[in-house]
A and B are shown apart, each in its own frame.
Chain A
Amino acid sequence: MKILIVDDSKAMRMLVRRALREAGYGDHDYAEAQNGKEALEILKAGGVDLALLDWNMPEMTGIEVLAKVKELGLRTKCAMITTEASPDMQTRAHAEGALFVVGKPFSPEIIERELRRVFG
C-alpha cells in the first residue's frame, strides 16, 4: 500500500508517519506533500492507495483536494487529519468523500482504529 501524507507542517508529517508506524503500518510505501496542489499532482500520477490530508494548507486546502479527487474520478481513498474536526466540518469532509476525519492532536491508537475500520 502507498500512503500519501499531506500537511504544510514538516513536523506534523513526521508525527503522522510515526503514528502510522506505531499503528503497524510502518512497512508501507510513503510519499509526502506540503500542500494540496502538490498532493493533487501526485494523486493524478496514480499509485497512491490512501491520502491523509490536512485541511488548512496554502495553495490548495484539503477539502479542495477531496473535491478534485471526486471530480476527476480518482480512485485513491482519502481521509483527513486536521484541527478542523468539529461535527460541521466532519460532515463537510464526509460529503466530499473523506473516509474518516481524525482531529489533531491524535494518538496512534485513533489512527490505527480508523485504518482498521477502512482496510480491515
Chain B
Amino acid sequence: MIPQIKLQKMSASIATTLKTLLGRAVTVTVGKPAPIAPVCVVGHFIRDDGSLDSVIVAPIALASYLGASLALIPPAVATAAGKAPKLDDNLGENYAEVMNVLTNTLIEHAGAHLKFVAIAMRAATSAEIQALVAKPKERADFEVNVTGYGQGPMTFLFNHAV
C-alpha cells in the first residue's frame, strides 16, 4: 500500500502537470480505491525493455473533460461525449497527449525511464494490460477536477512496488 504522504506528493505533481498543460485550474486530491469499471479508458506505459510498467485508468467522462480542455473544446461537447459508450476519437487523441505528458509523473515513482504507448477502452486492451488492471501490485487513486469541465476518478495501477 502506498503511504499517504507519497500519494499526496503524487497528487500535487499531477495537479501541477495538468494545470501547466491545460492552462486552467485543476485540483487533484487523493481518492478512495474503488473497483475499476468495466467500461473505462486505459493508458499504458512501458519501460525501455518493452515491459509493461503501469497504466492510468479513467472513466470516459473524465477523459473527455481532459481531452476537451486541452484544445479548448466547449464543456458541453465534453459532457455529451462523456455519456457515450466509447471515447470520442478527437477527444481521445487529445487525452492521449495528456497521458503522454503525465509520463514524467510516473517516471518519478518508477525509478526507470518510461514511455507512454497508447490509450484504449479497457475491453480492447491486451491480455497483459487486462491482467494488470485486474490485479495491480500497487494502486494510487485520485479525484481530478478540471475547472469549467467536471471531475472524476483517475487511478494509477503499477506492475511494481512504489
Question: Using a CB–CB distance below 8 Å, which chain A residues touch chain B?
Answer: 9-12, 14-15, 56, 83, 85-86, 103-107
Give bound CA distance, A74 to B97, whole Å: 30
CB-nearest residue of chain B to A82: B100
| Dominant secondary structure at the A interface | loop
Cβ–Cβ < 8 Å partners of B96 in chain A? 9
Q: Decide yes or no whether B124 CB sits under 8 A from chain A.
A: no
Nearest CB in chain A: distance from B133 CB, A: 23
Starting from the known contacts A56-B115, A83-B103, A105-B17, 5 additional A-B residue pairs (CB-CB under 8 Å) come to A10-B71, A83-B116, A104-B21, A104-B100, A104-B101
- Known: A83-B104, A104-B101, A105-B101. Contact between A11 and B17, CB under 8 A? no
Q: Which of B20, B93, B94, B116 contacts A105 (CB 8 A)?
A: B20
Chain B residues whose CB sits within 8 angstroms of the CB of A10 once the complex forms: 71, 93
The dominant DSSP class at the B interface is: helix
CB-defined contacts of A107 to chain B, threshold 8 Å: 20
Q: Are A9 and B20 closer than 8 Å at their CB atoms?
A: no
Docked complex Cα distance between A12 and B98 (Å): 10
Q: In chain B, residues 86-132, which have Cβ atoms closer than 8 Å to a Cβ of chain A?
A: 93-94, 96-97, 100-101, 103-104, 107, 113, 115-116
Q: How far is the CA of A14 from the CA of B101 in the complex (A)?
A: 15
Interface 0/1 of B20-48, CB less than 8 Å to A: 11000000000000000000000000000
The complex places the Cα of A14 from the Cα of B103 at a distance, in Å, of 20
B116 to chain A: which residues have CB within 8 Å? 56, 83
Q: Is B70 an interface residue (CB 8 A)?
A: yes
CB distance from B43 to the nearest CB of A (A): 13
Check B113–A9 contact: CB distance below 8 A: no
7 pairs of A and B residues whose beta carbons are closest in the complex:
A105-B21, A105-B20, A9-B97, A11-B94, A11-B71, A104-B101, A11-B70
